[in-house]
Every structure is written in C-alpha cells, then in structure tokens.
Amino acid sequence: MSVMNKLGEQAEFLDDRLTVANWGKRNLRKVFPEHWTFMFGEMALYSFIIVLLSGIYLTLWFKPSMNEVVYNGTYTPLNGIEMSEAYKSTLDISFDVRGGLLMRQIHHWGAMLFIASMTIHMMRVFFTGAFRKPREINWTIGVLLLTMGFVEGFAGYSLPDDLLSGTGLRIAEGIMLSIPVVGTYISFFAFGGEFPGDEFISRLYGIHILLIPGIILGLITAHMLIVWYQKHTQYPGKGKTNDNVVGYPFMPVYMAKAGGFFFIVFGITVFLSGVATINPIWSYGPYMPDQITAGSQPDWYMGWLEGALRAMPNWETVIAGHTISWNVFIPGAIVLGVIIQLMIIYPWLEAKVTGDKREHHLLDRPRNAPTRTAIGAMSLSFYMLLLIGGGNDVIGTQFDISINAITWFIRIGIIVIPPIVFVITKRICLSLQRADREKLMHGRETGTIMRLPHGEFIEVHAPLSENEKAVILSKTDITPLPWPEKTDADGVRDPSYKKDHRWARLSHWWYTDNIAKPTAAELATAEEHIRHSAAEGAPIIAHRASLEPEGGVLHDPAAAAAEAEEGKEPVGK
C-alpha cells in the first residue's frame, strides 16, 4: 500500500492537471493480440525512428550546397577533383567524422528497412482483410505513408550529389519535362532554370528533412492512434470472436516486447551498417551531367518504376506543334498515380461488390477470400515483373541473356502473366477451402489403417481439435448481391436497374465456386460419424501406442498436460 501511496502522490500532480488516471485505468492493461505477422508494422515504425535519429546526426555535418569546391582530403583518389559542397561534405562525413560513415549507413539501411517493412506489412493487411470496415481510413493512411516513403527515399539518395544520384535526378527531370502543357515550366521552376542548375540540392534538402518527414510523422501518429482506438485485429482461433480481443496486456508484456523489439531492430540495423557497405558514394565520384556508369540502378523500391520506364514502348505524338512523350509520361507519372488510387479505393470497392457492411475484427484466412487473394497475387506478379524489368541490364550481363529479350518478355508478360496468376491463385484457394470442408466433415486423417471384421480397410479419422475447428469455421459465407428487379411491385421501372445489375453480376463473379461452410446440422451429423470412427479405431491406436518404446513419443499432448499438472502442485496454485 505504501508504494501505492507514493506513486499516487506523484501521479496526483499529473492527474490534477490532465486527468491521467481515467486514461490509465482504461489503457495501461489494454489487450494486444500477438502474432508474428503483426511484427512488420512495428518494424516500419522503429526503422522510421532510427532513420529520423540518424538523419538528425547527418544534418550536423552535411552541407546542402551545389557550390563548386576542389577536394583535397582524406580520400586521396578524388584529390584535385571539382565537386559540389554537398558531395564533399558527404565524403567528409564518410572519411573524417568518426562514426559518420556509420550514421550514413544506418540512415540508408534504415530507410530500406522502413520501406521493405511497410511493403510487407501492407501485404499482410491486404491478404488477411484487415483493411475492411472499420479500418479503411488506416489503410488509406498506410498507402499515403508508402508513397511518402518512396518520395522521401528518392529525395534522400539524391542529396549526396554523386554520379549515381545525379543520374537519378536527370531522369526525374526527364519525367517532369514529359508532363503535358506545364512540364517544361515545372522543370525550370524546380531546378531554378536548366538542369542541373545550382539550386536543386538545397531545395530538395528542405523537402527531405522537414516537409516529408513532417507529413510522415503526422500520418504515423494518426495511424497509431487509430490502431489504439479501434483495437488490433486478431487471427481466428479457439475463444476468439469478432467481439473480443485476446492477447497480452499492454503493461508490462506488450510494452516489454515492443520496446525490446525496437532495440533488436536498432541493433541489427547498426550492426549491418558496421559490416555491410551501402551506397559507397566515393566510388561513384561527383555528379557530372556528361558522365555515366554502366549498370546504373536506383534503390530497390524505385526498381519497379524504373522497370516501367524501361519496358514502355517508344510512343510519342506531336499534335499541333506540341509533343506528348507517352513513353516517359505513362511509366513515370501515370502508373504510380493510378496504382496509388487503386490501392486507396480498394477497401470501398470490395465492400461495394460484396455488400459487406459489418465491422471486421477477426482476420480472414487468405483462402477464404479467393478473389481478393487472387487480386493480391496478381498485383504482386505485376510488381515483380516490373522489378525484374528495372534490372534488365544487370540480369542481362549476369545471366548472359539479351536485354532486348528480357524487355520483350516484360512487355508481353505484364499483360499475360498477372491474369494467369489470378486464376491459379483463386483455384488454389478454392482447393484449400475444399480441404478444410473435408476436414470438418470427416475429421483429421490419422494415418492408421484398420481392417474391419468383414475385410474392409478403412483409415481411422480423429476429431479436429477445438482450435482447428474454430479456425476453419471462422470463414464467413456471404451471399452475392441480389439480382435487382426491373420493375417494382406496382410495375414502375427501376431507374437504377442497369447499374444494380452490373454490380450484382460483379458480385456473383466475386463468389464464383465458393465452397460453402457446412451448416450446424450437417456438422453435428458429421461429428457423430467422426467420433464413431475414432471409437472404432481407438483399440488399434492404443495398441500401437503400447508398442512405442519408452519415451519414444516426443510430442504427446496428453503427457505434456499431465506433466504441467504435476508441475503446478509445488507452487500451490
């Protein structure tokens, strides 16, 4: 009690002013479900913190200036070479500031981890249907965060003004120029005149260290508050429903695990930055607009857009004395814009097609939403093809394949392969659904073959565990949208008939070949059969168990339970 009083005295100050007790009593032991796939969102958050911290260190030494200086410093191969101050200060950070190279590499590895973990987190959210009502807003914030991550990463690796980053900026300028009507003006305003000018690095710096991080920080804050307020989703299992949340209390378990995990992510990033070089700008040399290296590649997360730029056919039209560069404008600007918009509207689109307006807190198993899973797999195949296209030169030289052949493969593959992936994925999902239904109706196959008195051989089936049953039964069957009536009861034509009919058709397509879950009555009958089969097989299973040598069964749940019971005794629970 004395501890309570002491803490109470200290908390009184805060509570008198901020009512913290009310918040604390509701939230300190808030329940968080646990699953390894929930780790990727955390990883994204932690890597952002790492990037933010290491970035602050870099600002202490980095000079975002395109003023020309002559290098005479520690890295002798570049002595006497003209370069921008930005590049020189990056060299100084790498070679003269102790721990400077480490901070640079932490910053770059952290940025890669940030985008990689956001991408995987987003895949988890998509394939488990976690974006469904009520989490559409957080999904949208997530899409914006990923987009901002791309922009921020590109801005970041453009700042050192080395040969590779300058090449990236030249491509960015080419994309700006391709924008119809205003493109030339955008480019001249961005670069303060012709490319490269001497303004761009300092302008980009402000955007990179203030504007975009500010936006990302705001979006992340909103993202976290919404997760907290709506409570986390959970995977189906015994005792888990749409109305409860099963997991560990925020304090101390979740706090410890999340806090500990931050240090692990931080530790691995720093360790990696100590032993694995990333972006060795000194070996590229300073940017000169008339120089280039073979095998120029952007950071991996830009690779798919680079692939789009490489695979695009060379279409250009001139209309009334004006040029439209479809070959640059479509892959450089349209593709990203369209994909972001498709991602943002997806939750609403799916809700409209399925007519599902309920709250969802229990995650879908990907197999139970075959069309969604197939759309996801299709999109990933599209992404992977573009990513391969972005490395066509590296693949070409490494595997001795013609670059032209790779490019043509991407051009055709991007249209042909995703639909094939869609069909295959959907079929796999439906097969898994069938297997699930089979398991429910006939039980688990034990692998034990028994001969009945009249000579028939049967395999003994055992009942499913409660947990397995709960997982399979978590599937929700939804009837497609009803076909609309052309006229109502009074014979009045329904003006929205055509529109409703189209949606209904889409909805029926969405649920094609759905494997319905057994009804309660069917399941009861089936379970009776399984119990019967298991009872018939019981003697033979018992016999087999008796033949096992002592201690031969490694994972006998019954034995483990018994041991646990024994164990409980001494501590007197």
Partner 1 sequence: MSEHNTSDVGVEGGTVEPNGDVALPDHHPRRTDFDPRAAKRAERQVTFLFTLSALFTLLFVVAYVQIPTDAVVPIPFVGTWSASNAALGVTFGLAAFFIGAGVMQWAKKLMSDKEVVAMRHSLASPQESREEAISEFMDGVDDSGFATRRVLRRSLLGAMALFPIPLIVILRDLGPLPGDSLFITNWVPGMRVVLDVTGAPIRPSDIPVGGIVSAMPANLPEIQHRDGNLNARAKDVVLLVRINPDEIRSQQGGTPEEPWDYEGVLCFSKICTHVGCPIALYEQRTHHLLCPCHQSTFDLADSGNVVFGPAARELPQLPIRLDAEGYIVARDSFQQPVGPSFWERG
549 binds partner 1 (CB under 8 A): no
Q: Which amino acid is at 407?
A: T
Q: Which of residues 417-456 bind partner 1 (CB under 8 A)?
A: none
- Per-residue binding string, partner 1, 35-74, x by CB under 8 A, is --------------------------------xx-----x
CB of 443 to partner 1, least distance (A): 16
Query: Residues for the chain: how many in total?
Result: 573
Rounded Cα gap, residues 220 and 52, in angstroms: 13
Distances (CA, A) of 353 to 134, 418, 486: 17, 21, 20
28-36, 333-341, 378-386, 427-435 -> range binding partner 1 (CB under 8 A): 28-36
334-342, 421-429, 539-547, 558-566 -> range binding partner 1 (CB under 8 A): 558-566
Backbone angles phi, psi at 255, to 5 degrees: -60, -45
Contact 374, 423 (CB under 8 A): yes
Radius of gyration of the chain (CA): 30
94-102, 366-374, 442-450, 546-554 -> range binding partner 1 (CB under 8 A): 94-102
458 binds partner 1 (CB under 8 A): no
CB of 483 to partner 1, least distance (A): 12
CB of 394 to partner 1, least distance (A): 11
Other beta carbons within 10 Å of 502: 11
250 binds partner 1 (CB under 8 A): no
526 binds partner 1 (CB under 8 A): no
174 binds partner 1 (CB under 8 A): yes
Contact 205, 30 (CB under 8 A): no
54-62, 336-344, 356-364, 380-388 -> range binding partner 1 (CB under 8 A): 356-364
CB of 351 to partner 1, least distance (A): 10
Q: Of 54, 138, 165, 273, which one interacts with partner 1 (CB under 8 A)?
A: 273
206 binds partner 1 (CB under 8 A): no
Contact 310, 394 (CB under 8 A): no
- Token output for 422: 């869609």
Side-chain half-sphere CA neighbours of 391 within 13 A = 15
- Token output for 480: 């497609």
Q: Which of residues 276-305 bind partner 1 (CB under 8 A)?
A: 288-296
CB of 253 to partner 1, least distance (A): 5
Degrees to nearest 5, angle at CA 465 with 462 and 468: 115
20 binds partner 1 (CB under 8 A): no
Return the SS3 of 279.
coil
Q: Smaller CB distance to partner 1: residue 54 or 379?
A: 54
SS3 of 84-127: EHHHHHHHHHHHCCCCHHHHHHHHHHHHHHHHHHHHHHHHHHHH
Q: Give the DSSP letter of residue 180.
A: T
Q: Smaller CB distance to partner 1: residue 389 or 537?
A: 389
* Contact residues for 543 (Cβ-Cβ < 8 A; gap 6+): none
Quickly tell me which residue has 């303060």 as its tokens.
192
Torsion angle, alpha carbons of 483, 486, 492, 496, to 10: 70
Q: Smaller CB distance to partner 1: residue 257 or 448?
A: 257
CB of 385 to partner 1, least distance (A): 16
- Per-residue binding string, partner 1, 467-496, x by CB under 8 A, is x-xxx-xx-xxxxxxx--------------
- Per-residue binding string, partner 1, 316-355, x by CB under 8 A, is x-x--xxxxx-xx--xx---------------------xx
404 binds partner 1 (CB under 8 A): yes
363 binds partner 1 (CB under 8 A): no
Rounded Cα gap, residues 212 and 260, in angstroms: 28
Nearest Cα to 118, choosing from 110, 108, 107?
110
138-146, 216-224, 449-457, 514-522 -> range binding partner 1 (CB under 8 A): 514-522
SS3 of 284-303: HCECCCCCCCCCCCCCHHHH
Q: Of 37, 119, 147, 230, which one interacts with partner 1 (CB under 8 A)?
A: 230
117 binds partner 1 (CB under 8 A): no
Q: Give the DSSP letter of residue 1.
A: -
Q: Smaller CB distance to partner 1: residue 419 or 482?
A: 482
Quickly tell me which residue has 């960015």 as its tokens.
172
13-21, 29-37, 214-222, 528-536 -> range binding partner 1 (CB under 8 A): 29-37
Q: Smaller CB distance to partner 1: residue 146 or 388?
A: 388
Rounded Cα gap, residues 569 and 358, in angstroms: 46
387 binds partner 1 (CB under 8 A): no
